[in-house]
Chains A and B, each alone.
Chain A
Amino acid sequence: MRTMNSSKLFLGIAALLVMPLVVSAQDGESHIGKLSGHTGAGKQLYFRYCWGCHGYRGDGNGENAPYLNILPRNFVAATFKCRSTPTGTLPTDADLYTSLGRGFNNSNMPSWIELTDQNRADLVAFIKTFSPRWKTDKAGDLIKVPAEPKLTVESIKHGGELFQKLECWKCHGQEGRGDGPSASTLTDSNDQPIRPYNFAAGSRFKCGSTNEDLYKIFITGLDGTPMPSFADVIKPEEAWDLVHFLRTLQVTHKSPELALWGSTKEGAEQIASRRITGTPTGSGIKQ
């Protein structure tokens, strides 16, 4: 019989088994909760689903990019709109994962919720390989979102005062319709024209649809766009007041804030003056 040392054999086999783990750890990974994504699998998925818009090099220059109104994200520049981290910092893996699953409203980026969790985690891992910044910088610290305080009329009114003081209306307009004095000259960081969000038109924001999403939008700012971060100039409690007020600008979306505001005399008058009523054919509009 061979005189092989069995413990050496064991070690050898163990080493072989461990090797793939070691290799994949160096491969680049993403971590979202208990999920781990890998770039190898993500690369296959990217070149099936994503390259048409985001391009072979991940720089947003896919074959369809010239025909898209909102340009696809340039992963090489690593500037992302929807984050939970301060302006100028990288998003967390969870931010990218959530963005993939949610899609971006009013853009050509669909919701990829039909892909499995593992698929989306793998895609996040691969997307991070496009920019060298992921190797040198870490994701920013998560911003702290305090618990939402009770919704009151005072909160809405105070939010309205903040809207004036912080001069949000300069871009978003007094009714939040995206028609402020600076709106027409806005350009994003690629010098492409861009419009501010029109609160009266919808219920979903670029980065979600909940109050917490709205809170994060103006605290972190949408990097790459004219929307700045207000983290240094607004206190966390006041920020929630602003959220409550902004919901009353969304006159086509039934929210508790809009209902509460509409129950006051001042609020009801304001909403009535702004509200679009009637059917798309115009049959319900008073002549």
Chain B
Amino acid sequence: MVEFWGGARMMRAKLAYIVGLAALAACAVMVHAGPSGGTVSGKVTYEGTPAKQKPIDMSKEPSCAKQHTTPITTETVVTGPGNALDNVVVYVSAGAADEGAPSQAAKFEQKGCQYIPHVLAFQVNQTLEIANADQTSHNIHPLPKVNREWNKSQPPGSAPIIDKYDKPEFIPVKCNIHPWMHGNFAVLKNSHYAVTEGDGGFSLPNLPPGKYTITAWHESYGDQSQDVTISGSEPKIVNFVFKAKPY
């Protein structure tokens, strides 16, 4: 054995060992960089005084009114602790490739004469499933400008409505029968998005190295964009601050 590993053979073996290790390390690095990539995270906050949300009078729909012991308020601006701004869609608007739709459906529910969630983000051509959990009829009336506009009635107990959108757009949704009901669809081109809630935090993981534009959209305050460059796997912090309007 000692004879086998001596002299030039030893040198070549060491060389092969080092090369092999390096290759393994490179593979590990590659594998590591693939799924885990870079992360953009941050918080969306507001400054100033947001408009007061008004309580909603549901007396015209008693079956919904009795589901709320205290009347719910409008949701044009929903805030959280520490001046957090909720219901903001944070997404990659440039720099990432368009992706095919995932197989699971995006679910939108009408409950207590409210849209749950208030803002639903999903992808182009992803199945949208709208359910009516109330004892009253609703009509689903999304109001797109780029996509097709449709309007369907959904009585209680009927099957969920299945549809999809083929162009990216922010679409307001309303129910004509219950005029206080307002929601939003955010139809996006890729899977890198998040909707803030609670403390206003968001996280966009799995971003390959490159330059990206991150856009934050709020239904009342418009949108803001910031550029960020991902070079490795270190997290990048991007915060958005919206100016609140008192009206």
Contacts and interface: CB of A to CB of B under 8 A. Distances in A.
B151 interface: yes
B226 interface: no
A125 to B, nearest CB: 22
A233 interface: yes
Interface string A203-237: 00000000000000000011111111111110000
A224 B149 contact: yes
Interface in A52-96: 77, 79, 86-89
Interface residues of A, number: 32
**Chain A interface helix/strand/loop/mixed:** loop
A266 interface: no
Interface string B130-155: 00000011011101010011111111
B179 A182 contact: yes
Contacts of A233: 153-155, 158
Nearest to A79: B149
B167 to A, nearest CB: 10
Interface of B: 60, 136-137, 139-141, 143, 145, 148-155, 158-159, 161, 176-179
A192 interface: no
Contact of B152 (A170, A186, A187, A221): A221
Given A167-B137, A171-B177, A223 B152 contact: no
B178 A228 contact: no
14 contacts: A77-B149, A79-B149, A87-B150, A170-B177, A171-B177, A182-B179, A187-B176, A221-B152, A223-B150, A226-B151, A226-B176, A227-B151, A229-B153, A233-B158
Given A166-B137, A189-B143, A233-B158, A182 B178 contact: yes
A189 B151 CA distance: 10
A249 B182 CA distance: 32
B176 A88 contact: no
A114 interface: no
A150 interface: no
A232 B159 contact: yes
Nearest to A87: B150
Given A226-B151, A229-B152, A186 B158 contact: no
Contact of A221 (B151, B154, B178, B179): B151
Contacts of B178: 182
Contact of B151 (A87, A89, A165, A171): A87
Nearest to A189: B143
Nearest to A185: B179
A146 interface: no
Nearest to B148: A88
A166 B141 contact: no
A181 interface: yes
Nearest to A137: B148
Contact of A89 (B139, B145, B148, B177): B148
